[in-house]
Amino acid sequence: MKICLTINSSPWSKFKGGGQLAVHSLACALAAIGHEVHTLYSKYPHENFDVDVPYKIHWAFHHDFATINFNFLSYSNELRTLLKKEKFDVIHGNAEEAYHFGLIARMNRSAYVFTSHAPNIPATGMLKGMAHPIQFLKSINTYLLRQAMVEAGCIIAFSEFSRDLIVKGLGTDHADRVKVIPPGLDSSWFDVERNQVDLNRILFWGRLEDEKGLPELFDAFKKVVSKKVDSKLTLVGEGNRLQEYKSRIADLGLTDHVEFTGWLNDREIQNLTTKSSIGIFPSRIESFGLSVAEALATGLPVIAARGGAIPENIEDGVTGRLVPVNDADALAKALILALEDPQGSESMAKAAKTVVQQKLSWEKAANSMLSLYESVLVK
């Protein structure tokens, strides 16, 4: 089968996120089982990425606008040019870049599928959205994404929670086209060996934003430090609220207990998991929760809020600890309990690693994706 995967930016760009890494990993897994895979990423003209991958890479121009993602223009142009040379069985979009792909796929008799990585999908199309112009302009990218999804022969969600959001946004008429295929995890997360653990070190990685539950984490950690004075919190990531959060930490008197590292690569994060006793992820909403899955794969004991899809990968009291969303008191109690019972925490983490190894492999995800591709191929 000949497949073209696309997503905004690339796995090597400073704009990368879980979606870019997922596309790269899927492309590698599909290529490993004998399929011809092309990817369409975007970059600036001055950028040069020297990478060795088992698939063919094509580049679109990366537009940098804060209010609207104009990449759909350069992606559409590049895909049309590419289709003059190649005939794809499947075109697989992942974000707003796929806005015009439904039409392009139909013209070239290719199947078109779409994976949703977004937690918020408008309940109406663009025309109705324009009735509220200010709100529409603030969220225009989500309307582009919605249209890209509507035109797809099949829509893929990473979790049941994400599937429900899609059906809620698009309407129940689209429910039969929305399928759940969990992503895989890079094997390096499963290879981590935790043998130099600091019993009082707590680790978070992800975007530094309120939706990740960081305000309540800071309040909870203040309570933890009052009981466990040697506790340390490491925050890996960047975000718009970084300076605000540093000020908040100072106001709480926690400066000596909290470390902000900025962005780190996978290997550096994995190294931190070997030295940490708890992974903390108090997100208010997650359409999948990649960082949580990565932590579980390393065998790091995890405490997480019940935000969105998180309970689909953690069984409370069996493979980790779950607390209510936006509840600093419950978060503090769970952290203190985990710090006081390291043996119980490690036992749950060991069970979680086994479950995740069986559930989240890219080989399994690729085979599921191939079955889906075959079901929507243009005859």
The pLDDT of residue 120 is 75
- Extract the tokens encoding 87: 């005939």
The pLDDT of residue 197 is 82
Q: From the CB of residue 240, how many other CB atoms can be counted at a distance below 10 Å?
A: 11
Residue 95 is classified by DSSP as S
The pLDDT of residue 13 is 82
Could you give the strand order of the β-sheet that contains 201-205, starting from the edge strand earlier in sequence?
A: 258-262, 232-236, 201-205, 278-281, 302-305, 321-323
Q: Residue 8 and residue 303: Cα distance in Å, rounded?
A: 31
Map out the domains of the chain as residue ranges: 2-183+361-376, 187-359
Q: Residue 202 and residue 184: Cα distance in Å, rounded?
A: 25
The pLDDT of residue 353 is 97
Residue 120 is classified by DSSP as -
The CATH architecture assigned to 2-183+361-376 reads: 3-Layer(aba) Sandwich (3.40)
Largest Cα span, the chain: 66
Same fold for the domain at 2-183+361-376 and the one at 187-359?
yes
- Strand 36-43 relative to strand 2-6: parallel, antiparallel, unpaired? parallel
Q: From the CB of residue 204, how many other CB atoms can be counted at a distance below 10 Å?
A: 22
Q: Residue 319 and residue 307: Cα distance in Å, rounded?
A: 16
Q: Which of 77, 74, 21 is nearest to 43 (CA)?
A: 74
Mean pLDDT in order along the chain per 10 residues (379 residues): 94 78 95 97 91 96 76 93 96 94 96 88 68 62 87 95 93 95 94 87 95 97 96 94 96 97 94 96 93 97 96 97 98 97 95 95 95 91
19: phi then psi, degrees, rounded to nearest 5 = -65, -45
What are all long-range contacts of 311-316, with beta carbons under 8 Å and residues at least 24 apart?
Answer: 312/159, 312/160, 312/161, 313/289, 313/356, 313/359, 314/352
| 153 contacts 111 by C-beta, under 8 angstroms | yes
Q: Residue 80 and residue 356: Cα distance in Å, rounded?
A: 39
The pLDDT of residue 129 is 66
CATH of 187-359, one of 3.60.21.10, 3.30.360.10, 3.40.50.10600, 3.40.50.2000: 3.40.50.2000
